[in-house]
Amino acid sequence: MIQVEHVVKWIQLTHQKIVATKDKLTELDQAIGDGDHGINLARGLDAAIQNLSPDESKEDLGEVFQKIGMALIAKVGGASGALYGSAFVHMAKVCKGKKLISLAELAQVIEAGAMGIKARGRAEVGDKTMLDIWQPLADYLNEHIEKVSWEKVQQFLFEQMEKTKELVAKKGRAAFLESRSIGHLDPGAVSSTYLFIALCETLDRGE
């Protein structure tokens, strides 16, 4: 079962990973975007973890996801702020009032996040965006609901991430490059990979 303290750990771990890979994300974004992805996410996640109340056990998952979403919306800026923010706000909706969710529910939560990204960004799977991590992961978890190996999920995530390299960007700043976007990883897909690697590691340590 997944509860609030997992989410808090998850986001803290994500923050650490993003801060550590800020320069790499910057370089990826410089290649097919404007170079701010790492900086924006680091700043926004910093705000998100500051925002989480020290006594988070009083809150339900819906409230925590909402807080994270609002912090990201207000502090990341750019495309990814709106998108990650929308994802978490959508995730908050399906968790409303819940203090605990099952693994099956987690798949639905991530699916809800993907819907948030789709709705806000009008992107489809294959457009070379962060959605190319979110949607496949939701599908994968839905399929493997009986028994999940977090290591396998990590492997799956990295495969999905690598796949964005060969795609032509259809949404976001990289889309202006058209076919010249091929050969580069999508920065948002990479940061989303880190986000979910952090989730895997958190849950691997013990749900």
Asked if residue 36 binds other proteins (CB under 8 A), the reply is yes
**Both structure tokens of 27:** 């370089």
Assign residue 186 a region (left: φ > 0; alpha: ψ between -120 and 50; beta: otherwise).
beta
Dihedral sign, CA of 185, 70, 88, 199? positive
- Site stretch for ligand ADP (CB under 6 A), options 28-36, 61-69, 104-112, 138-146: 28-36
Asked if residue 131 binds other proteins (CB under 8 A), the reply is no
**Both structure tokens of 165:** 């390299």
Three-state DSSP class for residue 100: strand
Asked if residue 32 binds other proteins (CB under 8 A), the reply is yes
d(C-alpha 51, C-alpha 119), whole Å: 26
Asked if residue 33 binds other proteins (CB under 8 A), the reply is yes
d(C-alpha 100, C-alpha 81), whole Å: 27
CA neighbor of 130 nearest in space, from 11, 19, 200, 29 = 29
Give the one residue of 11, 13, 18, 83 binding other proteins; rule: CB under 8 A.
83
The site that binds other proteins (CB under 8 A) totals a number of residues, namely 35
Q: How long is the chain?
A: 207
Task: Rank residues 62 and 77 by Cβ distance to Mg ion and give the closer one.
Answer: 77
Q: What is the DSSP letter of 2?
A: E
Asked if residue 186 binds Mg ion (CB under 5 A), the reply is no
Asked if residue 87 binds ligand ADP (CB under 6 A), the reply is no
- Site stretch for other proteins (CB under 8 A), options 61-69, 139-147, 163-171, 198-206: 163-171
**Which residues are at the interface with ligand ADP (CB under 6 A)?**
29, 33-34, 36-37, 40, 78-80, 83, 117, 121-123, 129-131, 171-173, 186-189
**Which residues are at the interface with other proteins (CB under 8 A)?**
26, 30-36, 39-40, 43, 73-83, 86, 120-121, 169-173, 175-178, 180
